[in-house]
Amino acid sequence: MQHVDALRATLPESTKDLRLNLSSVLGGEVLSAEQTWSVALTAAYFLRSVALRDAVLADAREKIGEGGVADAQAAAAIMAMNTVLYRSRHMIGKESYHHRRVGLRMNRMAAPATSKAQFELCSLACAALAGCEACLKSHEESVLKAGLSEEHVHEALRIAAVLNGVATAADLRETA
């Protein structure tokens, strides 16, 4: 975790809680190391924080391999698209939109390089970051159907939440 630790050390003292939380969620015991770092990398890509992305990628690559990196990129990009569409349809609130064909390609979700469960955990993290209720519910259900537990879901959400805070903290250090 050398690169993430280096980033963590540059965060302002006012964000000490985030520095501590980052270590905690990346060293958790519920998710495997591969799941943890895949979720973290996907969240970092989704958040578009260059400093965070670069640090997480440098530490994650060895743990998740090139297939894991590619899945993290795919999950972040697909969910950037999906959360806009599904959140918007949900917020409009008209049943008529739910009967319309989505017509967007998402083949990687069905055939990830890693595993369906891991890809769904990564997608769940993005859904949380985007605040998309429909996507959250859908991906939580898929994670559970893939054989993981609510503890796995909870840990993925914790990672997404902390990385969101760290992305903000990293921006703070650049404006100080």
The residue annotated as part of the active site, out of 1, 7, 135, 163, is 135
Average pLDDT across the chain, whole number:
94
What pLDDT, in 10s, does the model give residues 79-92? Answer: 999 999 999 999 99
Q: Is a pLDDT exceeding 70 seen at residue 30?
A: yes
pLDDT exceeds 60 at position 116? yes
- CA dist 123 and 80 (Å) reads 10
For residues 124 and 140, is the Cβ–Cβ distance under 8 A?
yes
- In DSSP notation, 31-99 reads S-HHHHHHHHHHHHHHHT-HHHHHHHHHHHHHHHHHHHHHHHHHHHHHHHHHHHHHHHHHHH--HHHHT
**CA count, 13 A, side-chain hemisphere, 36:** 17
Tell me how far apart the alpha carbons of residues 82 and 77 are, in angstroms, rounded to a whole number.
9
Q: What is the pLDDT of residue 28?
A: 86
132 classed as catalytic: yes
What does the DSSP 8-state code read for residue 149? -
132, 156, 160, 166: which one is catalytic? 132
Give yes or no for residue 174 having a pLDDT over 80: no
CA 121 to the chain's CA centroid: 8
Catalytic site includes residue 135: yes
Give the integer Cα–Cα distance in Å for 176 and 171: 9
Domains of the chain, each with CATH number or no CATH:
2-175 (1.20.1290.10)
How long, in residues, is the chain?
176
- Least confident stretch, 17-26, 90-99, 130-139: 90-99
Residue with tokens 């000490």: 16
